[in-house]
Amino acid sequence: MHSAAEDPYFGNPRPDMAPFVPPGLARVLELGCGSGVFGEFLKRSGVREVVGIEASPGPARVAAQRLDRVIEADVERDALDLPAGGFDCLVCNDVLEHLTDPWAVLKKLQPCVRAGGWLIASIPNVRHHKVVRHLIWPGRWRYEDDGILDRTHLRFFTRESACELVESAGFRIERMQGINPSSLPLWLRAINAAVGDALDDMRYLQFAIVAQRK
């Protein structure tokens, strides 16, 4: 049994998000930094300073050994001592869906990003073919220990609603790409081909978003 600090849930290095990191970042704020593994990767890649926000005490203590500063706080309830325009980039890897009001949280953190700075986000795709198939037949929406229907997820997003979330907080999407694909079943591939690949997004577990502060 893993402790929270050792749990892969908090220590996923997210190599799938590495290609989306803009070059030349000096200061990064990571929301839901877990045990700091992704932030540590950023520092090895040349980022001068990484500040993490983490609500879980165990992972926050581990992250404090890897990052320059870790704020142990509930971002939705607690006041945060963060400088306006103090960061080149805000990172939100699979964290927004765990929040009661991710729209308010992004608006709360947006002023911390300098004008022209970046948001990098990974958001689960509730239109993934396995979720949709089980919902259609046998009509199942069953929460699980991890994945898209993780029992700790409070909000669910499609490609369209993920775009709306980011843009409503004052960011302009520069790149959005599905990540971690799986093969569509044969019958769904046939339908997808017939509708000009309009269902292609159903292959992806998540969307990676790169957006710029307006």
Question: 9-45 burial, b for 16+ CB within 10 Å, e for fewer?
Answer: bbbbebeebeebbeeebebbbbbbbbbbbbbbbbbee
**pLDDT of 8:** 60
Q: Does 194 fall in a domain?
A: no
CATH number, domain containing residue 54: 3.40.50.150
**pLDDT of 7:** 62
Q: Does 200 fall in a domain?
A: no
Mean pLDDT, each 10-residue run in order, the chain (214 residues): 53 94 97 97 97 97 98 97 97 98 98 98 98 95 96 98 98 98 97 98 98 97
**pLDDT of 2:** 39
Q: Does 62 fall in a domain?
A: yes
Can you give the pTM of this predicted structure?
A: 0.94
d(CA 212, CA 36): 24
| Overall domain count for the chain | 1
**pLDDT of 9:** 63
Q: Does 46 fall in a domain?
A: yes
Q: Does 12 fall in a domain?
A: no
Q: Does 13 fall in a domain?
A: no
Q: Does 178 fall in a domain?
A: yes
Domain that holds residue 176: 23-125+150-183+205-213
Q: Does 130 fall in a domain?
A: no
